């Protein structure tokens, strides 16, 4: 197995709606963590909900199906998904992001 071969996971949302997630790279995960971190006083605080959406934005490779109404995969469109869809995808993206090298595909 190559460390540079992308690891993917297909999430079936029913009704012909399918999303392909790609495991974020080391740099992409670090970018997501940085975007979700705040300095409060002298302490760094990780905003967990923000980390989840930042990881998801970096993980969605493709989507297809009538629920997506032909909209392209963009950070804005990912953020505009209904809560239940975004939450399901964020959970899958976080599982994929933190799984060992045997996950996915």
Question: One digit per residue, pLDDT tens: the chain, 105 residues?
Answer: 688 999 999 999 999 999 999 999 999 999 999 999 999 999 999 999 999 999 999 999 999 999 999 999 999 999 999 999 999 999 999 999 998 766 555
Q: Residue 65 belongs to what domain range?
A: 8-94
pTM attached to this predicted model:
0.90
Predicted pLDDT at 104: 53
Predicted pLDDT at 94: 97
Does any domain span residue 105?
no
Number of structural domains in the chain: 1
Q: Residues 13-47, buried b or exposed e (16+ Cβ, 10 A)?
A: beeeebbebbbbeeebbebbeeebeeeeeeeeeee
Predicted pLDDT at 101: 64
Does any domain span residue 15?
yes
In Å, how far are 4, 23, 32, 33, 86 from 27, measured between CA atoms?
A: 13, 11, 9, 10, 23
Does any domain span residue 38?
yes
């Amino acid at each position: 197995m190559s460390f540079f071969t992308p690891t993917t996971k297909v999430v079936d949302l029913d009704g012909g709606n399918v999303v392909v997630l790609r495991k974020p790279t080391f740099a992409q995960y670090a970018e997501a963590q940085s975007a979700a971190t705040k300095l409060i006083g002298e302490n760094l605080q990780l905003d967990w909900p923000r980390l989840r959406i930042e990881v998801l934005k970096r993980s969605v490779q493709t989507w297809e199906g009538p629920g997506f109404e032909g909209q392209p995969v963009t950070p804005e469109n990912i953020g505009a998904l209904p809560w239940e869809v975004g939450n399901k995808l964020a959970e899958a993206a976080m599982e994929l992001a933190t799984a060992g090298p045997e996950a996915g595909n």
